[in-house]
Amino acid sequence: MSKTLDKMWPGIFLLSLLLVGASAKGYGGYGGIKRPPGQSHSGENSGQSQNGYFPQNLQQNRLREVFNWKQLDFNYPSQRAREEAIRSGAFLPNLTSVPIGVTGTRNRVFFTVPRWNNGVPVTLAYVNYPSQSSSPILNPYPNWEMNREGNCDGITSVYRVKVDECDRLWVLDTGLVNSLVDPKRICPPQVLTFDLKTDRVINRYRIPDSVLKSDSLPVTIEVEYPRGTCGKPTDAILYIADVTAYSLIVANLATGRAWSVKDKTVYPSPEAGTYDIAGESFELMDGILGLALGPKNDPGGRKLYFSAMSSFQQRWVQTSLLRNETAASNSPRAFQTGAQPRPGQSAGPAMDNNGVLFFGLVTTETLVCWNTRNPFESRYIGKLAQDRNTLQFLATVTIDQSQRLWTLSNRLQKFLLGTMNPNEVNVRVFMADSTSELVKGTVCDGGSQSSRPGNHGGQLVFRP
């Protein structure tokens, strides 16, 4: 079976997708990931585990499934309001709303739901954590009016957000709707900053037209305070990944200026343009998407770690260079590349306070880590979890102020190709209480003898 999907603008990727083939593959077992009490999934053999990847009892103590949904629902003010939204087409419940981003903060977990199609009523939502339900209804953040489509003073369509050390939520809004059907930029791209103590907007930054193209899709944001303290929101420097314009945007909020960095390292690689996930294949050429700031106390200077979606390379550059508008565009040798390629394509990564980078490998349904004190080589990449059913398409990994890790799988390949089954669990959120505990005894554990290559306590690392 084959078909061509032309100009789908699919959110995390904007370029055309080509379905080059699909075939059924039998995958048995799990990676030992713990599910909420009483939860089971149709078609899964929960009695099996993938022995050799992770000892089951160890895995259950470190990474657990905290939420799952067959499809999303939203907390309308009343049942009548929900029914009216369905009648008007403002809400189409049948697998229209699929989240891309997740991030936790204190007692809430935030989700981003891009407006790929008609019928997505909320683009930024949250649930309380812990929750009495493993599939809670999502609440609009901060309210319904801010999520109203067409309200350019609100939030139009979001892919990822960032919670910083100052208890602020940074929301990167593309201004784009109906990406899969009839893409329209109905509002200017912007960055909204919320004070999470009051849930009020404390800063708004419109991304200048000078750093955007007509097909720009800003999807990922990182926030740095070069002075080292929180101060005001306008003390921040923003790093924004424009996945389709192949550009890293740097914005200085103190001056309002922004510049576009177009080093060759932000482009995709042809050899990474084919994706094969759970028996379904497509091709795309997406540029820079993954961003993660390194630790502040890096003796070599703080770095921004980045990668193109359609690439096998991990790259980084010092943020001091990016903050210099002239040097950022005239210092090609400052952009560094790992010694060996990644063992697969990856979407949204996260960095903890110890300098460990966490990311998902979308074509092997795997969560992995790399301690940035080591060279980027296969022997230093640790496998933390693998599950060919529940970890299908790890779209985003984030780490909150308490150093808890959050990751979201959403079967995005099925959503894009129209093969998602509404009777199966399609979206899952996993959490680890501590990144230090998650990597303990692995090749990523900087304080353990097991972090040395060849002494990794029974856990596999990737080999070329």
Question: Where along the chain do its domains lie?
Answer: 3-35+47-451
CATH 1.20.810.10 assigned to domain 3-35+47-451? The reply is no
Judged on CB neighbours under 10 Å (0-12, 13-18, 19+), 194 is buried
Distance CA 85, CA 95 (A): 16
CA atoms within 13 A of residue 356's CA, in its CB half-sphere: 30
* Per-residue pLDDT, 243: 96
Give the three-class secondary structure for 221.
Answer: strand
Count the Cβ atoms, other than its own, within 10 Å of residue 330. Answer: 10
Distance CA 170, CA 105 (A): 13
Distance CA 319, CA 302 (A): 6
Distance CA 224, CA 155 (A): 22
* Per-residue pLDDT, 441: 93
Residue entry with tokens 């590349």: 337
- Rounded to a whole number of angstroms, the CA Rg of the chain reads 21
Strand ranges inside 244-348, DSSP E: 247-252, 258-261, 274-277, 280-283, 288-293, 303-308, 315-318, 336-337
Which alpha helices (DSSP H) does 304-375 contain, by range?
Answer: 319-322, 325-328
Asked if 247 contacts 218 with a C-beta cutoff of 8 angstroms, the reply is no
DSSP state of 49: B
Asked if 332 contacts 264 with a C-beta cutoff of 8 angstroms, the reply is yes
3-class SS letters over 90-151 = CCCCCCCCCCCEEEEECCEEEEECCCCCCCCCCCEEEEECCCCCCCCCEEECCCCHHHCCCC
Judged on CB neighbours under 10 Å (0-12, 13-18, 19+), 47 is exposed
* Per-residue pLDDT, 331: 96
- Pick out the chain residues at pLDDT < 50: 1-60, 449-464
Asked if 234 contacts 253 with a C-beta cutoff of 8 angstroms, the reply is yes
* Per-residue pLDDT, 447: 66
- Measured CA to CA in angstroms, residue 121 lies from 72, 79, 103, 160, 280 at distances of 11, 15, 20, 17, 29
Distance CA 81, CA 360 (A): 38
| Ramachandran bin of 337, using left for φ above 0, alpha for ψ from -120 to 50, beta for the remaining angles | beta
H/E segment holding residue 192: strand 190-195
12-45 core/surface letters (b: 16 or more CB in 10 A; e: else): bbbbbbbbeebeeeeeebbbbbbbeeeeebeebe
